[in-house]
Amino acid sequence: MYRRIVVLTGAGISAESGIQTFRDQDGLWEQHHIEDVATPEGYERNPELVETFYNDRRAQLALDTVQPNAAHLALARLEREFNGDCLVVTQNIDNLHERAGSHQLIHMHGELAKGRCPGSGQTFMLQAPFGPDNVCTCCLPAERLRPHVVWFGEMPLEMERIYDALERCDLFLAIGTSGTVYPAAGFVEVANHYSAHSVEVNLAPASGQSQFQYHMTGRAGELLPKLVDNILAGAPLW
Ligand code: BJW
């Protein structure tokens, strides 16, 4: 029976909700240059381009068709029914985990629903799309809000809390992430080092050098409900 679980999620968990991943075929990085839309330098060069990228994704998230799927719901159920600690660390900036009912949640790469004042660092729930008139209320003169997201070269959020949970967990699950972006890609090593069991759920088969002890191949929405049943029942996972 596990006592402390850390779940890392990536774009793959939201794919079945109709949100594009980054590196799959037809993913976001096939249509946009990373250095243009996901770096502080890109934003400095052309804020309008970056704002359009995030405004479009925010508008997509508001569509009725985009809803939490069975995998988000299974993780919310795990948190509700698990007799121990369960923390979801998501790399995703969508809000599908919270809409599914997860509360113990860290958005390590930020949140699409928020803007941030570049001067004070204060975050604001967005009331309107990003643009020159969407400004903070904390500075004089008011500053243009930037997306509250973590771009390449920037420090992901709440790292201390994440490493603390990783060092104490006995089960580490990684769901729908390609494991190419650090520091998230290194979390499995930390969990392994502290003797946790590590399980990966991904559409793609395990790669030869996988650091995970167990790999489940398939769609997160199909595999997670059963996996959560097994964790809650204290049944062996493999
Ligand atoms: C399914 C599925 C289904 C599909 N069911 N599965 C060399 C070594 C180490 C580090 C570096 C290095 N060189 C540079 C770095 C640093 C850099 C980095 O990692 N670069 C790599 C590319 C090499 N990292 C950074 O700069 C980070 N900051 C940093 O390191 O600060 C210093 C620091 C050091 C140590 C400790 C602490 C701090 C910042 C990274 C910021 C990433 N930002 C982005 C954009 C954010 C906002 C936005 O959304 O626009 O975050 S990039 C993008 O990639 C986004 C994602 O969160 C992230 C990860 O992508 P993810 O989620 O894995 O998606 P995909 O598309 O790659 O994969 C989807 C997977 O799902 C696939 O595997 C599918 O098979 C699967 N799938 N459908 C199950 N239905």
Q: Quote the pLDDT of residue 80.
A: 98
Q: How far apart are CA 40 and CA 78, in angstroms?
A: 36
Residues with CB under 6 Å of ligand 1 are: 10-12, 15-16, 21-24, 27, 38, 91, 93, 109, 149-156, 159, 176-178, 180-183, 201-204, 219-220
Q: Quote the pLDDT of residue 51.
A: 98
Tens digits of residue pLDDT in 157-202: 999 999 999 999 999 999 999 999 999 999 999 999 999 999 999 9
With contact defined as beta carbons under 8 Å apart, do 187 and 211 qualify? Answer: no
List, in order, residues 6 or more apart from 133 with CB less than 8 Å away.
none
Q: How far apart are CA 136 and CA 129, in angstroms?
A: 13
Residue among 26, 61, 89, 182 to mutate when testing ligand 1 (max atoms within 8 A of CB)? 182
Q: Which one is predicted more confidently, 205 or 34?
A: 34
Element (H, E) at 40: helix 40-45
Q: How far apart are CA 32 and CA 16, in angstroms?
A: 21
Residue of 72, 107, 109, 197 marked active site? 109
Atom of ligand 1 nearest to the CA of 24: 66
Tens digits of residue pLDDT in 88-115: 999 999 999 999 999 999 999 999 999 9
Q: Could you tell me which of 177, 157, 184, 168 has the C-alpha nearest to residue 86?
A: 168
Phi-psi label, residue 26: left if phi above 0, alpha if psi -120 to 50, beta otherwise: left
**DSSP codes joined into one string, 175-188:** ES--S-STTGGGHH
Q: Residue 101 carries which side chain, given as an amino acid letter? A: G
**What is the average pLDDT score of the chain?**
97
For residue 114, report the phi and psi dihedrals to the nearest 5 degrees.
-120, 150
Q: How far apart are CA 160 and CA 157, in angstroms?
A: 9
Which residues lie across from 175 on neighbouring strands?
9, 201
Q: Quote the pLDDT of residue 207.
A: 80
Q: How far apart are CA 171 and CA 235, in angstroms?
A: 13
Q: Quote the pLDDT of residue 205.
A: 87
Tens digits of residue pLDDT in 117-162: 999 999 999 999 999 999 999 999 999 999 999 999 999 999 999 9
Residue 208 predicted with pLDDT over 80 = no
- The Å distance, Cα 83 to ligand 1 centre, comes to 31
Residue among 152, 162, 219, 223 to mutate when testing ligand 1 (max atoms within 8 A of CB)? 152
With contact defined as beta carbons under 8 Å apart, do 38 and 89 qualify? Answer: no
- The Å distance, Cα 202 to ligand 1 centre, comes to 15
> Which pairs from 158-161 meet CB under 8 Å and 24+ separation?
158/106, 158/108, 159/108, 159/183, 161/106
With contact defined as beta carbons under 8 Å apart, do 219 and 68 qualify? Answer: no
- Whether the pTM exceeds 0.95: the reply is yes
Counting residues of the chain whose pLDDT is more than 70, the rounded percentage is 100
List, in order, residues 6 or more apart from 15 with CB less than 8 Å away.
21, 24, 176, 203, 220
Q: Is 103 a catalytic residue?
A: no
Alpha helices in 46-186 (DSSP H): 47-61, 70-81, 96-100, 159-168
Where residue 206 falls among pLDDT bands split at 50, 70, 90?
Answer: confident
With contact defined as beta carbons under 8 Å apart, do 177 and 91 qualify? Answer: yes
